[in-house]
């Protein structure tokens, strides 16, 4: 028990480092709206958006609200990012048709479940379906497996979204976040 706790604590410390960097990279790239359904994988990013008086922190009842929110934000000239767990992607699919059909620039960051070392069988189906669904809806997928790749990937995704007008999903894989961390 205590050994497991220590391992979890160590994972949390590493995770806190890159999660803080991730938030700061999004802010540096001009993101002013953060939407989310509460999720352990995005905990620090969510908490920092709540504390940050210069952004709108939008708690959603279901993930697809965040897709529409981001499209509305774009119509108003703001940058909005949807933070969700991979299981939330299934809720978003029909609204993603607006992103694709409307060619809205759109960024979502997914904390993965069910992709590497998952121990909850309920998470496997959506985890394994995540990339095929994103590809089917015309999204570009960028996967992060190492903490040092978080900031460069957010910068790359930001360019592809807000300079090239693309829809990009950044996947925080379980190789990055760990299957045991939550």
Partner 1 sequence: MAKATERSAGPRYTLDRITAVPALVGNADDFLVIAGLAGTAKDMAAMTKDGANYYGLAGAMGAAVSMGLGLALARPDKTVLVATGDGELLMNVGALATVGVLNPPNLRILCVDNGHYGETGYQKSHTCLGVDLEQMAIGAGIKSTCSVESEGDLAKGAKMLRESNGTCFVLLRVKPTDGPKFKRSLDPAAGRVKFRLGTLGEV
Length of the chain: 182
Task: Tell me the per-residue interface mask from 101 to 140 with partner 1, x by CB under 8 A, - otherwise.
Answer: xxxx------------------------------------
CB of 169 to partner 1, least distance (A): 18
Residue 140 CA to residue 142 CA, distance in Å, equals 7
Closest by alpha carbon to 20, among 60, 57, 47, 50?
Answer: 47
| 20 versus 32: smaller Cβ distance to partner 1 | 32
- Identify the bridge partners of residue 130 per DSSP, sorted by sequence position: none
Residue 32 CA to residue 89 CA, distance in Å, equals 22
Does 87 interact with partner 1 (rule: CB under 8 A)? no
Closest by alpha carbon to 88, among 119, 51, 42?
Answer: 42
Interior angle at CA 35, CA 132 and CA 27, nearest 5: 100
- Element (H or E) spanning 109, and its range? strand 106-111
| 67 versus 89: smaller Cβ distance to partner 1 | 67
Query: How many residues of this chain bind partner 1 (CB under 8 A)?
Result: 32
| 138 versus 147: smaller Cβ distance to partner 1 | 138
DSSP 8-class letter at 62 = S
Does 62 interact with partner 1 (rule: CB under 8 A)? yes
| 60 versus 157: smaller Cβ distance to partner 1 | 60
| 98 versus 142: smaller Cβ distance to partner 1 | 98
Rounded to the nearest angstrom, the gap between the alpha carbon of residue 134 and the centroid of all alpha carbons in its chain is: 13
Does 82 interact with partner 1 (rule: CB under 8 A)? no
Among 40, 50, 59, 136, binds partner 1 (CB under 8 A): 59
Interior angle at CA 46, CA 44 and CA 47, nearest 5: 65
Task: Tell me the per-residue interface mask from 16 to 55 with partner 1, x by CB under 8 A, - otherwise.
Answer: ----------------xx----------------------
Residues that bind partner 1 (CB under 8 A): 32-33, 56, 58-62, 64-78, 80, 94-95, 97-98, 101-104
């Amino acid at each position: 028990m205590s050994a497991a706790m220590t391992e979890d604590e160590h994972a949390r410390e590493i995770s806190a480092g890159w999660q803080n960097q991730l938030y700061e990279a999004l802010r540096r790239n001009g993101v002013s709206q953060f939407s989310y359904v509460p999720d352990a994988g995005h905990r620090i990013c969510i908490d920092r958006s709540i504390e940050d008086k210069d952004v709108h922190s939008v708690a959603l009842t279901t993930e697809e609200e965040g897709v529409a929110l981001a499209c509305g934000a774009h119509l108003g000239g703001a940058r909005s990012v949807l933070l969700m767990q991979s299981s939330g992607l299934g809720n978003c699919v029909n609204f993603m048709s607006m992103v694709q059909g409307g060619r809205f620039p759109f960024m979502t960051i997914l904390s993965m479940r069910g992709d590497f070392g998952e121990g909850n069988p309920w998470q496997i189906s959506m985890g394994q379906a995540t990339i095929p669904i994103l590809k089917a809806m015309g999204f570009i997928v960028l996967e992060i497996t190492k903490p040092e790749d978080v900031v460069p990937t957010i910068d790359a995704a930001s360019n592809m979204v807000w300079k090239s007008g693309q829809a990009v999903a950044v996947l925080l894989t379980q190789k990055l976040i760990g299957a045991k961390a939550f």
